[in-house]
Structure 1
Amino acid sequence: MYVGREHQYVREAVAMLRENTTVEWHIVSAGFGLLHEEDKIPSYECGLSDTESVRFRAKQAGFDVEDMTSEEVIQVVGREMNIPQKLSQTLSQDYDLLFVVLREPYLRTVADALAEIPRNTTAIAFAPTGSEQLIGECALIPATETERQRLETTWTELRGKQLYTLALNSTDKALCKIQNDSSVARNLISNPPR
């Protein structure tokens, strides 16, 4: 269903990480909520970037959106779809590492869950600078213009390419180091081993 290049980078990163460890991959869907990578869904047309469409969905769910900001409406729609609740439930399974690769509107739908990451989980978000209020307990790997140029990619692919670069340069030993010190992840992306 998801064919964008960012998604493909994440898919390739997951495959590489699986060479060193067990990986579960979940997808935040504007149409179906929190999905596991193997969930089958029909083709659909909706997203969280179209403000009017999101407002319409919130109205259909019974919310008065007139005095709400676009950001608040996205969060309401995410909660109505149980996205943060399902993610919190998923994270309660005691993961060692969590990598979050989401565009800003999708980060809004999971912000509640990211604010309450279990203590023993090291969480890293590949997200734009300025989204710190949305990533809760995650360490930020900023998606910046400098990073975009360095990785020779587009804005829509950047976060996926960052995770891909991390996976490409990670060993099981590096993943253990990331778990103990999230800054190791940034170093693997910025200064990959030769």
Structure 2
Amino acid sequence: MIEFIKGSIQYINPEYIVIENNGIGYEIQTPNPYVFHVQREETIYTYQYVREDVLALYGFQTREEKALFRKLLQVSGIGPKGALAILAAGQPVQVVKAIEQEDEKFLVKFPGVGKKTARQMILDLKGKLEDLVAVPNLFTSDDSIEEQENGPQALLEAIEALKVLGYAEREINKVKKHLLEEQLTTDQYIKKALQRLLT
């Protein structure tokens, strides 16, 4: 198992990042690739997912984020793509709170999570996530960094990322008009869209 990879980010797209370490480029799928920045040194905490027809690396900014991803994978009906979509919202405390309070209405707002899966999440994870919520810096990212291009290109990248996460065109169109009013980075567009999609 690869615990983490430390290296330079070489490439970012809506589905994954490529991090270079000792001349090897690792393709890593992350909840929101645009929180990372090209040519920056990063430490990515990784989870290797192996199935008969799949061998993939998933990466996270913190060990706590990775731990929550692994917990979500234990739920029947949630695969890696679904777990990434849940984590991409960047509000793990809300997810944990919804599970602890058995708030199905909140959980079914995530793409791919229906009533049955929401109930399964509550059944499987309630009472098992308190240690993750106690971590104060869980899912923090440096919002002061403004190296990405703002405006139309950033918005297009954000929309592509939302599609990758499983959101339907009609859902994206509902929030798109609000996003057009602002000049943000790709990461900020994604976060703002997810906030609106989850309210």
Say whether the fold is shared (TM-score over 0.5).
no
Q: Which has the higher strand share?
A: 2
TM-score range relative to shorter protein: under 0.3
Whose relative contact order is higher, 1 or 2, with alpha carbons under 8 Å and at least 6 apart?
Answer: 1
Which TM-score applies when normalising by structure 2?
A: 0.26
* TM-score where L is the length of structure 1: 0.27
